[in-house]
Structure 1
Amino acid sequence: MEFIQPTSWREALEAKAALPGAVPIRGGTDVMVELNFARSRPQAILDLSRVEELEEWGIEDGLLRVGAGVNYTRIVEEIGDRLPGLAMASRTVGSPQIRNRGTVGGNLGTASPAGDALPPLYASDAEVEVASMDGSRRVPVADFISGPKQNALSDNELISAFYIANADGPQQYSKIGTRNAMVIAVCAFALALHPEQRKVGTCVGSAGPTPIRVEGAEDFIGGVLEEGDLWQSRGAIPDAALRRFGELVAGAARPIDDVRGTAEYRRHSAGVLARRTLGWAWEEYRGVRGAA
């Protein structure tokens, strides 16, 4: 197995063009597991840990552009106030050592349905930037993740960054696991309030072959908020509406039975997480003291 370690983004793209089968690695928190268990034997490993361009973030075209090499610890510490939902998800990833190594770019690359960073990206309509020697393109995250552990990368492309809007309202992320720390999600849910657009963004994780954007639930709660003029008045969402929102999310889940949980448990959990996160986010929007 060949090991390639470029020191610039151009060198990385040249190496990927020359060896399309090379597997990129940055933190290694997913790839090394596959290698250690002999589940994968790529022709080459493309180590991107020395490519400084991937560690940059800033504002471009009115959006936050975050390099694929920015780790979870930096997301929490440096842009957590801009992306609170993603920061919440980042805090749940593994241990401090894993958060110091792992990246959102890695979550996008492996495209695991249980990837903690993915639901917040869906809920906020993020775009993934990919590049090759032929140029770059941006793909909506829901189109980029094409199946379980499958994405829309061409053989000569690498993930360079993701684009996402700064939060314009409260965001939430919650997950259920078999223990309180260092756990893969049995079920997860991300929610983002967008007061300027008067809409609610959602996404269920680890309850289907890919993260699931629940448009039916979004349309329903959007109608409730508009009908009651709640965006303006900041009044409480009726309990019946919260319950119905949770039911719609649970109905949209497409879980399976596995060693971490049954399909029925995941479906139930998705509904509970949806109802709770919406309640927490709305109480924060209302300015209720002690809101989560």
Structure 2
Amino acid sequence: MDFLRPADWEEALALKAAHPDAVPLAGGTDLMVELNFARRRPERLLDLGRVPGLRSWHEDREAGTVVLGASVPFSEIVARLRPRLPALALASHTVGSPQIRNRGSVGGNLGTASPAGDAHPALLASGARVEAASVRGTRLIPVEEFFLGPKRNALAPDELIRAVHVTAARGPQQFAKVGTRNAMVIAVCAFSLALDPAARTVRTGIGSAAPTPVRATAAEEFLTGVLEEGGHWESRRPVPPAAAGEFARLATTACAPIDDVRGTAAYRRHAIRVLARRTLHWTWAAHAADPAPRGDAACA
């Protein structure tokens, strides 16, 4: 096995162009498991550990986003970005152990493209975009277009993930997942919800309940209509129980779960229904308790 170790980003792109089969290695929390259990034996590894800038983040105030370098660890998101990216911070807190959170990253999570990736529902709900780069140039891929199938993503063979552009929160956000225990567990299923009172929009993300992470667009459209027609954004009155129930039911229609060792398809549908209603209750309670519109305050 060849071990390629670029010193900077330009060299990394050149090596990836010359060796499209080279597998990127950053935190290694997914890849090393596959290597240790002989599930993969790539001919080349592309170690990105020395490439500067991949472990840093910054705010793009003009775009209203937080730009995360591909190797920013989950522990950094938990410690420093909860006010700006609350759903992603909640999801990051559920990843593995403290040691795993110190190594694992959103970029690595995306590259693996597992349907059960903990960051994916929050990225979908937040409207993130993946910055993919190659010697040919750079492009931004909406995260809902990034997942092509189980462990398959939209990167071209010569592309690497450089950063993830995540829209900073303009309202309450939540993330919740179901597992066999509270820590160090792969999600049976997960759900994320983001409200934007200024734009009057609702976004969702579902994990581990379909071949890829997905948004529940029918549920989003239904709840958006209920909130608008009922004047709930201004009045902050509770969402009617019947409407909350229908939102949760519609969320399950986005799912296409399977039976596996972690849970049955029927259980996953039931759990998504519960999580959808629960996160709606939490986010709406937060909106009702905050009379001032957030606007761009999250990026201040």
Place the TM-score, normalised by the shorter chain, in its bin: over 0.9
* 1:53 alignment counterpart: 53
Q: Distance in 1 between matches of 2:83 and 2:49?
A: 26
Aligned residue number for residue 294 of structure 2: none
- 1:238 and 2:240 equivalent? yes
Contact 1:113 1:209 in 2 (8 A): yes
User: Counterparts of 1:109-258 in structure 2 under 5 Å?
Assistant: 109-258=111-260
Work out the CA distance in 2 between the residues paired with 1:41 and 1:54.
Answer: 25
Secondary structure of the structure 2 residue equivalent to 1:159? strand
**Structure 1 residue 125 displacement after superposition:** 1.3
The one-character-per-residue Cα deviations of 1:108-133 (angstroms, maximum 9, x if unpaired) are 10000000001111112111001011
- 3-state secondary structure, aligned to 2:3: strand
Is 1:17 aligned to residue 31 of structure 2? no
- Report the alpha carbon displacement of residue 264 of structure 1 after superposing the two structures with TM: 0.2
Rounded Cα–Cα distance in structure 1 between residues aligned with 2:52 and 2:280? 38
Show the counterpart of 2:296: none
Deviation at 1:59, TM superposition (A): 2.4
SS in 1 for 2:211: coil
Task: Report SS of the residue matched to 2:53.
Answer: helix
Equivalent residue number for residue 34 of structure 2 = 34
The residue type equivalent to 1:110 in the other structure is T
Name the CA distance, whole Å, in 1 between partners of 2:23 and 2:183: 29
1:186-205 deviation line (CA, Å, top 9, x unaligned): 01000000111101100111
Q: Could you tell me which amino acid in structure 2 is paired with residue 30 of structure 1?
A: D
CA RMSD of aligned residues (A): 1.0
Shift of 1:227: 1.1
* Matched positions, count: 288
TM-score (norm 1): 0.97
Partner of 1:272: 274
Judge conservation of contact 1:8–1:53 (CA < 8 Å) in 2. no
Q: 1: distance between equivalents of 2:48 and 2:142?
A: 23
In structure 1, what is the Cα distance between the partners aligned to 2:219 and 2:184? 30
The answer to which of 243-252 and 207-216 deviates more is 243-252
Q: Distance in 2 between matches of 1:100 and 1:239?
A: 41
Return the offset for 1:55. 1.3
Partner amino acid, structure 2, of 1:251: T
Contact 1:94 1:183 in 2 (8 A): yes
The gaps in structure 2 that reach 5 residues or longer are: 291-300
Write the distance in 1 (CA, Å) between the matches of 2:276 and 2:49: 37
